[in-house]
Amino acid sequence: MNFESILLSISLLIIISIFIAKFAKNIGVPVLLLFLGVGMLAGSEGPGGIYFDDAYQAQSIGIVALVFILFSGGLDTKWKDVKPITKSALSLATLGVLLTTVAVGFFVFYVFGLPLKTSFLIGAIVSSTDAAAVFSILSFSNLKLKGTVKPLLELESGSNDPMAVFLTISMIELITNAEVSYLKIAYTFFLEMGVGLLIGFIAGKLLISSINKLHLPVEGLYMVFACAFAMLTYTLTYTLGGSGFLSVYIAGVVISNDEIIHKKSLYRFFDGLAWLSQIVMFLSLGLLVFPGQLIPVIGEGILISLFLILIARPVSVFISLSASNYSIKEKLFISWVGLRGAVPIILATFPLIEGIKEANQIFNVIFFIVITSTILQGWTTPFIARLLKIDESKNTRYKIPLELTNTDNLNFELINLKLPDNPELVKKSLVEIPALKGSLVVMINREGSYFVPVGSTVLQKGDLMQILVPNDKVEQVKSGLS
């Protein structure tokens, strides 16, 4: 296949995937599953006929994609939202991952009779929730969860991959090298996490300082600079023995919670880049699998997947969050949103590359587990949220087609509110409402028509208002207009 043919295939697959993403929400199918499906259909056993069996290349594509996905996830993480649940999220990202590894490992060992180390390797590979899958499901389903459940899930999925990578590599070393000591493994763990945290924090601060002082002539160059800096952060951390995935996520969090020019443009750029990364990653992983090889592992895959979803994940969640204030319903929902996605499939390529005896079986089982997890958990997440009564999506978030750009140095925020049936507000002019003092109502949507109000404009029930509010008065305005 010549270069032009490769470009044609890639571009067509991406375009098809984007069209699928557009319609996936309407039919309720998890979009990431469809990306995988497109890759499988385009593969050697599908109508596309593209032969691809290079595990190393698929792993490399996945690592690059995860760098941008995790960096984008960090940019979307607001410290004020995650600060109260940091301990709980870190407990899930470390203790929870370890407990899942042990539980699945013993299950595979006793039920299927695989060697104990190999069983624990399977447990390690499927131990972490997938950031791409969790971010995608929560955003695509438009769930508005009560309390701090959503930031907990996002922080957990963004920070638990390093633990899963560490456990997977450690189990491979124990299988391939009998001289590796558990003391060395423990030392490696603290080294990776410590270096990852340190470099991630420093990299975030350096990127903020650099972008704010560069004064580049073209705005787009800032995005290119940030993109290259994110990849530099990962590679430098990896070279120094740290967790590159952790460092890029932390760098994103640091940037998100500080002042930086062109912040909104930066967010949009990395949001699009993260989606492109997800599409390319899932397409390549779909190409890598041979559907015919999944048939022999269906029984094994279903049993492990059900054990993971119904027992291992809930047990790890309830133990990890035992000291938290989350209710039983919230813990049940957190247990259910333990989606497995691209990360386990990427980790499943490690045994293939290292030539472990059961590598092909492991890869096919893991791929099947990811499919069942995406279908069963991803498809039913909105239903489970409503069943457990922790979904507030019925409180619709209204949008008016007006936004400000380059507002990073302003102390104002644009908010959208719907005027309730409140006698203290309805039939009153804007100047008569104390909550609006110091704020500016810039636009109102009344029965589908937009207009710019003045001080004497009389409000009516159902008015959709866009208000420019000082940052320190946002909550006051929201409560005053409720």
pLDDT digits (tens, 9 = 90+) for 383-407: 888 898 887 655 444 555 665 554 5
pLDDT at 205 over 90: yes
Number of alpha carbons in the 13 Å side-chain half-sphere of residue 134: 29
Q: Considering only the top CATH level, what class is 412-480?
A: alpha beta
CB atoms within 10 A of CB 293: 15
Instruction: Tell me which residue of 96, 70, 90 sits closest to 250, measured CA to CA.
Output: 70
412-480 has the same fold as 3-387: no
Instruction: Answer whether 133's CB lies under 8 Å from 339's CB.
Output: yes
What are 210-237's pLDDT values in tens digits?
998 888 888 889 999 999 999 999 999 9
Q: Considering only 127-136, 332-341, 413-422, 438-447, which range has the smallest mean pLDDT?
A: 127-136
CA-to-CA separations, 481 to 425, 434, 462, 463, 465, in angstroms, rounded: 7, 10, 12, 11, 10
pLDDT range class, residue 409, cuts 50, 70, 90: low
pLDDT reported for residue 471: 79
pTM, to two decimals: 0.76
The winner for highest mean pLDDT among 124-128, 180-184, 405-409 is: 124-128
pLDDT reported for residue 453: 87
CB atoms within 10 A of CB 101: 27
Q: Considering only 82-91, 131-140, 285-294, 355-364, which range has the smallest mean pLDDT?
A: 131-140
pLDDT top residue among 408 and 119: 119
What are 451-470's pLDDT values in tens digits?
888 888 888 888 888 888 88
Report the chain's mean pLDDT, rounded to a whole number: 85
Domains in the chain: boundaries:
3-387, 412-480
pLDDT reported for residue 24: 62
DSSP-derived secondary structure letter, 472? G
Q: Which two tokens stand for residue 401?
A: 């087609």
pLDDT range class, residue 288, cuts 50, 70, 90: confident
pLDDT range class, residue 29, cuts 50, 70, 90: low
Q: Which two tokens stand for residue 51?
A: 């032969």
User: Does the domain made of 3-387 have the CATH classification 3.40.50.1820?
Assistant: no
Instruction: Answer whether 91's CB lies under 8 Å from 322's CB.
Output: no
DSSP-derived secondary structure letter, 159? H
Cβ contacts of residue 263 below 8 Å, gap of 6+? 408
Antiparallel, parallel or unpaired: β 412-418 and 464-470? antiparallel
Mean pLDDT across 163-171: 91
pLDDT reported for residue 98: 95
pLDDT range class, residue 289, cuts 50, 70, 90: confident
pLDDT at 171 over 60: yes
